[in-house]
Structure formats: structure tokens, C-alpha cells
Amino acid sequence: YVKPAKRKKGIGTALLKHLEDTIRNVGVKEIVCDFRINDVEKTFLYKNGYNYWFKSNFMTYNGSKLAVDNDEIINYEDKYYHECQKVFSEAFHKMRLSVGLDSTLSLPSDEERNQYKENAENIFLLRKNGEIVAAVRLEANEIDSLAVGVEHQHKGYGKALLSYAVNRLLDKGYTTVALWVVEGNSAKFLYEKVGFIKERVHEFVVKGIK
């Protein structure tokens, strides 16, 4: 942050270059940052070599508990890792391609499996006929990620699990439930239909610093 009276004197650019040099020296090869869309920050970052990546909507829900269909929704257990990982990987890969982003399927890893295990109490799975068809991860008052298996989309599973997740967070005492959705992701219409409201839009930019 540079005080308004001191702006346009190269201070911000000098600070940014120092930051880039510092993190480059510890092996970072690429920087990603985001900002609430405005011309001042956009011009500054573009001038310093940052390139547009995507936009994302920050949305909030401030209503009452939602009706949930009578689906089988269970807590995550380690034995479901591969099924759960497949749902998240394939669904988000499909989403990224649909909005024009480069994408590759994420692969299972021991590191991710351990993260899932440590956060099991905040991961919920919707099961149909013994198969995991949708998954959601929660973090504080935020729906961190929600995914429906690509072969099970448009069947109401996403709405059911979203409603369940909202209710879980409300039961924990949160009055506001938040989430991010990439601009162009058709899931935004589902969130709006349930009652989420767009609060703001952020632009994400990226710069290589090898």
C-alpha cells in the first residue's frame, strides 16, 4: 500500500520489484494475485508485466436453512479418497475448459490424500446407489469447492449438496455463507437460484518470474 500523496513516484513499482526478487530467490517461478476490479490496480499490475488469467465472483448467502432432498450424504472417510479425487478433478477440469482456461486433470497424490484425511470433518459426499456422485469441502464459513461427477451433472445432486452445505454452516452459527465462482461457470446460476448474491468480482493475474 502506498499513501495517495506519495503515489506516481515509483514507490509501488520499487516495492513490487523487491517483493518479486525476494520470492524469486526462494525458488518461486510464478506469481498469482487478485484484486477487486478497478482501473488503478489493473493498470499498475499490467504495466509491471502481469497478465490476465480469469475473473471470479465472490457470492454470499444470508438467508435461512434450505430444503434438502432425501439423498444419502455422508462424511468423508479415507476409503473414499480415489472416488472423491476423481469427482473433483474431472469436474473442475471440465469447468476450466468451458470458460476458456488451460487445464489438465489433477492426479491423486499422498499429499492431497493426507490433506483430505486431516480435513475429513469438513468434507461431505453425496452417494447414489453406492457411488460417490458429488463432493463438497467447507472452510470456516466458506464453501471452498463443490463438484458433481461429470456423468452425474444436471440431475439435482449439486443443488442437494449445496443446500446441505449451507445448512451445516448455518448450524455452526455462521450467519453468512460465502463462496467463489469463476466467471462463466454455469454453476453461478444454481447459486443465484438458491439465494446467493454477488458481492464483488475479482480479477486474477499471473506473471512468470524465472
Instruction: Give 70-118 as a DSSP string.
Output: S-EEEE--GGGHHHHHHHHHHHHHHHHHHTT---------HHHHHHHHH
* Highest CATH level, class, for 61-200: alpha beta
How does pLDDT run across 119-175, given as a tens digit for each residue?
Answer: 999 999 999 999 999 999 999 999 999 999 999 999 999 999 999 999 999 999 999
Q: What integer pLDDT is reported at residue 8 of this predicted model?
A: 85
Q: What integer pLDDT is reported at residue 2 of this predicted model?
A: 84
Q: What integer pLDDT is reported at residue 160 of this predicted model?
A: 97
Confidence band (pLDDT; 50, 70, 90) for 4? confident
Statement: the pTM of the whole predicted model exceeds 0.75: yes
Strand order in the sheet with 123-128: 30-36, 197-208, 51-61, 177-182, 142-148, 131-139, 123-128, 72-75
Q: What integer pLDDT is reported at residue 7 of this predicted model?
A: 84
Strands 131-139, 197-208: pairing kind: unpaired
Q: What integer pLDDT is reported at residue 210 of this predicted model?
A: 85
How does pLDDT run across 13-28, given as a tens digit for each residue?
Answer: 999 999 999 999 999 9
How does pLDDT run across 58-114, given as a tens digit for each residue?
Answer: 999 999 999 998 789 999 999 999 999 999 999 999 999 999 999 999 999 999 999
